């Protein structure tokens, strides 16, 4: 039995001649946070705009809770809340005026608008700014208003396009916890070009590159997939490179400075224990040991050559 809030089949889109996205297939469960990760121009916004009914696809199908978005757009869109990359805020309206307008647009019944506003503002922590003009809010609070308009009609699926872009570190932490909160009872998809952002928030991850999905699986599977293959050691009394190379599993040893050495290994998960033991018995005086994480560019390059999509 399928329990999907979103199903995308063979989705392709071209703005002019070149394809922006090509044959995207995606399935999303009713709850949880899914990260859509991709570098600039990868196709994230195009995919999100189509799944929210803002852009008509060239080819393929989108189903929201089993409803075909193209055939029954009104019914399908009732189930979606969307925060586009540039939040559609009217700066000269107060928060209440703007959210009331959004509730009307979202076909919230007249006698339920007041409660819908109160609930969305409460969830987004903006009740105390109800009567403030949006242009007088900070970037972080504007983003919260953007998220409030996306949940005003209590949708089952909330789509957030780069919601933390342009925010300062404190605001990012606040918006992240807001996303976690709204994902408790619904599905949230959010896009980012920052890997750590997706890693810290999401239960599953879809990576898109050059208009194609190159990875789609759980966050745990992703973390296993990008398992580090080198460690950085800081040794007060380093041995000769040969002594480290002789350890089982070590494939290469590279001294960066007199005391800092990068050790490459062949996927052996016990390498840290082995290095620590060798350091103790050989008197290397280990000061620090850090696993190297692959950069997002390396992961993209790796995945683009060898797509990993869970069937």
Ligand X SMILES: Nc1ncnc2c1ncn2[C@@H]1O[C@H](COP(=O)(O)OP(=O)(O)OP(=O)(O)O)[C@@H](O)[C@H]1O
The 67-68 sheet, strands edge to edge: 19-29, 4-14, 59-64, 67-68
**DSSP bridge partners of 187:** 32, 157
Cα–Cα distance between 188 and 116 in angstroms, integer? 19
Which of these segments, 42-50, 60-68, 100-108, 197-205, binds ligand X (CB under 6 A)?
42-50
Query: In sequence order, what are the residues at sequence separation of 6 or more whose Cβ sits closer than 8 angstroms to the Cβ of residue 222?
Result: 199, 205, 215
Residue 192 touches ligand X, criterion: CB under 6 A: no
| Between 85 and 130, CB nearer to ligand X | 85
| Between 3 and 40, CB nearer to ligand X | 40
Cβ 155 to ligand X shortest distance, Å? 21
Residue choice 24, 26, 34, 43 for contact with ligand X (CB under 6 A): 43
CA 129 to chain centre: 28
Residue choice 5, 11, 32, 46 for contact with ligand X (CB under 6 A): 46
| Between 149 and 192, CB nearer to ligand X | 192
Residue 44 touches ligand X, criterion: CB under 6 A: yes
Residue 42 touches ligand X, criterion: CB under 6 A: yes
Residue choice 38, 60, 81, 87 for contact with ligand X (CB under 6 A): 38
Helices (H), 112-190: 113-124, 139-151, 169-182
Query: In sequence order, what are the residues at sequence separation of 6 or more whose Cβ sits closer than 8 angstroms to the Cβ of residue 236?
Result: 259, 284, 285, 286, 287
| Between 51 and 108, CB nearer to ligand X | 51
Pick out residues in 227-266 that bind ligand X (CB under 6 A). Answer: none
How many other CB atoms sit within 10 Å of the CB of residue 86? 11
Which of these segments, 34-42, 112-120, 134-142, 195-203, binds ligand X (CB under 6 A)?
34-42
Pattern 65-104, ligand X, x by CB under 6 A: --------------------x-------------------
Residue 17 touches ligand X, criterion: CB under 6 A: no
Cα–Cα distance between 235 and 17 in angstroms, integer? 56
- Tell me how many residues contact ligand X (CB under 6 A): 12
| Between 60 and 238, CB nearer to ligand X | 60
| Between 39 and 234, CB nearer to ligand X | 39
H or E stretch at 1: none
Q: What's the maximum distance between 2 C-alpha atoms anywhere in the chain?
A: 78
Cβ 161 to ligand X shortest distance, Å? 7
Q: What is the DSSP letter of 241?
A: H
Cα–Cα distance between 167 and 62 in angstroms, integer? 31
Residue 193 touches ligand X, criterion: CB under 6 A: yes
Which of these segments, 33-41, 86-94, 108-116, 128-136, binds ligand X (CB under 6 A)?
33-41
Q: How many CA atoms lie within 13 A of 109 on its CB side?
A: 2
Interface residues toward ligand X, by CB under 6 A: 15, 20, 38, 40-46, 85, 193
């Amino acid at each position: 039995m399928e329990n999907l809030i979103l199903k995308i089949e063979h989705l392709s889109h071209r703005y002019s001649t070149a394809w922006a996205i090509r044959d995207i297939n995606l399935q999303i469960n009713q709850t949880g946070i899914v990260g859509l990760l991709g570098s600039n121009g990868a196709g994230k916004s195009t995919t999100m705009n189509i799944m929210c009914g803002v852009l008509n696809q060239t080819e393929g199908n989108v189903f929201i809770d089993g409803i075909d978005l193209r055939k029954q757009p009104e019914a399908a869109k009732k189930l979606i809340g969307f925060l586009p990359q540039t939040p559609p805020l009217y700066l000269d309206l107060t928060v209440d005026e703007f959210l009331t307008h959004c509730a009307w647009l979202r076909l919230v019944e007249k006698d339920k608008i007041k409660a819908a506003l109160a609930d969305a503002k409460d969830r987004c922590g903006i009740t105390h700014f109800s009567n403030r003009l949006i242009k007088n809010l900070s970037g972080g609070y504007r983003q919260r208003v953007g998220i409030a308009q996306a949940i005003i009609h209590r949708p089952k699926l909330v789509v957030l396009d780069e919601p933390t872009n342009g925010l300062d570190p404190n605001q990012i932490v606040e918006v992240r916890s807001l996303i976690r909160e709204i994902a408790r009872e619904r599905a949230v998809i959010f896009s980012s070009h920052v890997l750590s952002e997706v890693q810290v928030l999401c239960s599953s991850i879809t990576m898109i590159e050059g208009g194609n999905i190159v990875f789609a699986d759980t966050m745990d599977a992703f973390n296993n997939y990008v398992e580090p293959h080198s460690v950085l050691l800081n040794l007060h009394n380093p041995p000769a490179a040969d002594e480290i190379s002789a350890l089982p599993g070590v494939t290469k040893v590279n001294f960066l400075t007199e005391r800092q050495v990068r050790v490459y290994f062949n996927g052996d998960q016990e390498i840290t224990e082995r290095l620590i033991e060798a350091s103790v018995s050989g008197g290397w005086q280990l000061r620090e040991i850090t696993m190297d994480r692959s950069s997002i560019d390396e992961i993209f390059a790796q995945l683009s050559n060898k797509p990993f999509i869970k069937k």
